Amino acid sequence: MQLATALRAQVIRLRERSFIAQAGALLTGAVVAQAVPVLLSPVLTRLYSPEDFAVFAIFMSVNGVIAVVAAGRYDEAILLPASDDDAINLVALAWLVLSVLCATLGVALAVLYGHIPDRWMQTLRGDWLPLLPLTLFICASFQILSAWNNRCTRFTKLATSRAAQGVLGGSGQCALGYAGLHGFGLIWGWVLGYAGGLLMLLRVNLPSLWKGRAQVSRPAMATVAHRYRRFPLLSTWGCLLGNGGSMMALLIVSHSFSAAVTGLFSFTLRVLALPLFLISNALAQVLQQRIARLNNEDPSLILPYVLRSAAVLITIAIPFVILLAFAGGELFAFVFGADWAEAGEYARLLALAVGIRFVVSPLTAVLSLEHNVKSCTQWQTLYFLSVTLTLSLGSHLPIESFLKLYVAHEMVLYSIYFGVVIQGARRRPPA
């Protein structure tokens, strides 16, 4: 009995070391990927106006909301099967769903683009809409390949592709800004970076995908489509609502305030996300792979992993939140120029909201497990309804009061989200 206990403890220690190594690899790539945009932000703020950042932010928001569901959420299931044959059929299925959606969207935009109401175009600042099918395909393909890459535990390769994505994207935005492309320079630079990262990830994973192609068949794809049907049926709508809630905040700001305020608000969120979420996202990638494996091997270990990860994230978040809360205005004015000092005041107000998102978001990998999908969808529905109602009621307020209301909403809803995560970590899969 003592020997079995000792062996189990040794296995846990080895897995923890592996977790640290894997997270470190992803974190290194994420640091490089995000260091370039952070370092180039002072340059970008002198090449582009707040109005240009408003256009870019709304494009990123709409693209991001649709991209996470563009493959029917089957990309989220790629890590779950015990069999690689099932996993590669999920990869094929995800790409099939993505291709059909992008083709349908392309035809719809070609037919309807000239008939979109002017009021909608003004709120969306939507001259970028014809690019949407292309950017969706690139972004969602990167997600599919990332999931397969993580299943194969090639974390250093994903780190390298993310680093290339950041370098190419930031450099492209600067070059296009110097060329006078304005708002579209930010968008095309981002597309260049994502396409470069996708090509690198494809080159690394193509041999394993090609090797498994013989296992892909219509009956096998139909089988995994039915087995993981909760992802398109529940997770898709939950994700649309959850990410749509984040987009609603930006759209309400765009509708209720000036283009300059929208640009300052979106730029603030972007800058705050870069240094914090590079760590959060790196841990999320590893947590998702580890939790999927523990779910197949020993689900009782999931909750301890989640709690330890939460403690690490809280420890990292506290200094950033304190720095932003007390010196956000001065930092933004010094780094980005006096024209962006108001964005620093927004950062000071948003510090707590960014901090709690940083802590909770990577832990939601627990809710990607099939038996937790329903709980995740319920919270995402609650978030969408509450943020839309709360911010719509507060849209007449001055921007500072509006932001305080937004932060209060985020603190309450993400505290609830953390409770949902803990319950999901305790829940056992059906026998």
pLDDT (tens digit per residue) in 176-194 = 888 877 768 888 998 999 8
pLDDT (tens digit per residue) in 188-211 = 998 999 899 899 888 888 888 888
pLDDT (tens digit per residue) in 364-407 = 878 877 777 788 888 888 999 999 999 999 999 999 999 999 99
- For residue 257, is it within any domain? yes
The predicted pLDDT at position 254 comes to 83
Burial class (CB in 10 A: 0-12, 13-18, 19+), 179: exposed
* CA-closest candidate to residue 153, choices 18, 32, 300: 18
- For residue 1, is it within any domain? no
- For residue 5, is it within any domain? no
pLDDT (tens digit per residue) in 199-242 = 988 888 888 888 888 888 999 999 999 988 888 887 777 778 87
pLDDT (tens digit per residue) in 143-167 = 899 888 888 777 677 777 777 888 8
Mean pLDDT of 256-264: 84
- For residue 4, is it within any domain? no
DSSP-derived secondary structure letter, 214: G
pLDDT exceeds 80 at position 29: no
Residue 106 structure tokens: 């392309």
pLDDT-based confidence at residue 294 (cuts at 50, 70, 90): confident
Residue 103: HSE in the Cβ half-sphere, 13 Å Cα cutoff: 6
CA distances 103 to 127, 134, 369, 412, Å, are 19, 9, 30, 40
Spatial distance between the Cα atoms of 77 and 173, rounded to a whole number of angstroms? 34
- Split into its structural domains, the chain has a count of 1
What is the distance, to the nearest Å, from the Cα of residue 144 to the centroid of all Cα atoms in its chain? Answer: 13
Give pTM, 2 decimals.
0.68
Mean pLDDT of 126-146: 88
pLDDT-based confidence at residue 7 (cuts at 50, 70, 90): very low
pLDDT exceeds 70 at position 431: no
Question: What ranges in 152-258 are assigned the alpha helix state H?
Answer: 155-178, 183-211, 218-227, 230, 236-256
b (16+ CB within 10 A) / e for 312-327: ebeebbeebbeebeee
User: What's the whole-number average pLDDT of the chain?
Assistant: 81
The predicted pLDDT at position 409 comes to 95
Q: Which domain holds residue 57?
A: 10-426
- For residue 431, is it within any domain? no
Spatial distance between the Cα atoms of 64 and 78, rounded to a whole number of angstroms? 20
- For residue 3, is it within any domain? no
The predicted pLDDT at position 167 comes to 82
The predicted pLDDT at position 120 comes to 66
Residue 385 structure tokens: 């309804």
